[in-house]
A and B are shown apart, each in its own frame.
Chain A
Amino acid sequence: DQQVKQNSPSLSVQEGRISILNCDYTNSMFDYFLWYKKYPAEGPTFLISISSIKDKNEDGRFTVFLNKSAKHLSLHIVPSQPGDSAVYFCAASSSQRSNDYKLSFGAGTTVTVRA
């Protein structure tokens, strides 16, 4: 029961260009969404989040867009830099139940930024 899906396992982008990562979810109880970045041999690190009361959140080069009606969110990285090469995980949680600590992750998208 994969409740969070990242359908693109990989993405290759040229340095300086925009990276767009997509994520879909099925559980309508999810109201808080996060993106994590993971380098090889390291744990995931928090990148950016968005609450369902918003449709956009921006932090520097990173912007997350949320389309609740489509149950879809995306992460935009502009401009892409070589250090952005990593695996990006989309994750979701629900604040409406007592188990809001429980993150549901997508399978990840491996981003490669070409020089």
Chain B
Amino acid sequence: NAGVMQNPRHLVRRRGQEARLRCSPMKGHSHVYWYRQLPEEGLKFMVYLQKENIIDESGMPKERFSAEFPKEGPSILRIQQVVRGDSAAYFCASSPSGGVFYPNNEQFFGPGTRLTVL
């Protein structure tokens, strides 16, 4: 019963490079959510995906950020041409169906990827 897995746990990039963050949801979960936590702030919703579909990307910055959840493999959050302001912890969550309501739709969170942009 592996939980939500994220890798890498720590990622260091120089300004202008690309960052790729991976998330493997819990077994049986087909709904994935990405959140970002900036220093001294709470987690902020970025994007909600189901297999091969982006359901809601209203929290994603319009440029440089993209997300996918292919039919096979993990969900990927990609940040192109990173800037220092992208330094944050990025959390992925998964649920068996859409929503947040406990116990049926609880979102289970991964340990996060801490991105540092030099």
User: What is the number of contacts between chain A and chain B, taking CB atoms within 8 Å?
Assistant: 74
Query: Within 8 Å of chain A (Cβ to Cβ): is B99?
Result: yes
Contact status A100-B110, CB under 8 Å? no
Decide: B111 and A100 in contact? CB cutoff 8 A: no
Q: In the bound complex, do residue B42 and residue A105 qualify as a contact, i.e. CB atoms below 8 Å apart?
A: yes
Q: Could you tell me if B31 and A101 are in contact, using CB atoms closer than 8 angstroms?
A: yes
Of chain B, the residue at the smallest CB distance from A43 is: B109
For B25, what are the chain A residues with a Cβ–Cβ distance below 8 Å?
none
User: Whole-angstrom distance from the CB of B89 to the nearest CB of chain A?
Assistant: 9
> Does A42 lie within 8 Å of B111, measured CB to CB?
yes
- Total interface residues on B, CB under 8 Å, equals 31
- Chain A residues closer than 8 Å to B101, beta-carbon distance: 32, 49, 93, 95, 100
Q: How far is the CA of A103 from the CA of B93 in the complex (A)?
A: 11
Interface hub of B35, B100, B110, B112 (most chain A Cβ within 10 A): B100
Cross-chain pairs A/B with CB under 8 angstroms, 25 sampled: A4-B42, A43-B108, A43-B110, A43-B112, A44-B43, A44-B109, A46-B102, A46-B106, A89-B42, A91-B43, A100-B98, A100-B99, A100-B100, A100-B101, A101-B31, A101-B95, A101-B98, A101-B100, A101-B107, A102-B56, A104-B45, A105-B43, A106-B42, A107-B41, A108-B42
